[in-house]
Structure 1
């Protein structure tokens, strides 16, 4: 199992200048890297232009708008403390690495249903997860702290 830190999902502005109609075509793209943002831009614009990715690549300009990290989604601390107390998971903390049903993620809070809010690797939104359903909790060094089979 790979227990590396969650990849950051960043926001980029990708643009190209079309010399034929003297216009710029900017798009806001959410991606893990600048290169992936360029490729996503090409995929989005390929309906408009019949240009191979390799030929479009030198014409693209990328600007980082915002860097994202899971802590950007950290929720209400009091609600989180209440949930970890009521669900008997006192070892849990916001920012903790967790595996739910085989998917790695990071705890970013808790919700009114008494569950944890998790941002899974490669996503930038949180999901509602029961703290005991097929869940593994890891410490800061990647060692397994607690596992719930079902």
Structure 2
């Protein structure tokens, strides 16, 4: 998985908001993900029509930190859920699956990127969850 900067080079689309950072296995898949973003009422044309205007530049290999969300929102969820020790990048285990906390979401849950995946999943912070410190030592466990 790599991180790409994708933009549309068309005269009326040559603005800063037009550039997006997107994760994808290949440049083509990153362009397709960008096209899906444009389909949200911005530019509703077939991919074959839009593709010729899209440009892509590899920024780097995928890192979990690329998925980190807004830190202030994350800390607010941690405070409300009673897990002030949690931090983005912390290793956790949810129902036996290992992963890394990458953020929080509007439902008050954690966004976790599980091992072998490149996207975050919604996880309740207390449901069968184990939290580990940077040395791998268990610091908190919720059974259900």
Q: TM-score, normalised by structure 2?
A: 0.60
Gapped runs of 5+ residues in structure 1?
1-9, 13-28, 32-64
Instruction: Give distance in 2, aligned partners of 1:30 and 1:103.
Output: 23
Q: Which runs of 5+ in 2 are unaligned?
A: 4-23, 27-57
Bigger relative CO (Cα 8 Å, ≥ 6 apart)? 1
**Partner residue of 2:34?**
none
Please state how far the C-alpha of 1:30 moved relative to its aligned partner: 2.8
Determine which structure has more spread, i.e. the larger CA radius of gyration.
1
Match for residue 129 of structure 2?
135
Counterpart of 1:30 (choices 9, 13, 25) is 25
Count residues with an aligned counterpart: 92
Larger helix fraction of residues: 2
Matched ranges for 1:2-13 at <5 A: 10-11=1-2
In the TM superposition, residue 71 of structure 1 has moved relative to its aligned partner by 0.5
Q: CA RMSD in A?
A: 1.8
State TM-score, norm by structure 1. 0.58
Residue 119 in 1 paired to residue 113 in 2?
Answer: yes
1:109 paired residue number: 103
Output the CA distance in 2 between the equivalents of 1:111 and 1:130: 10
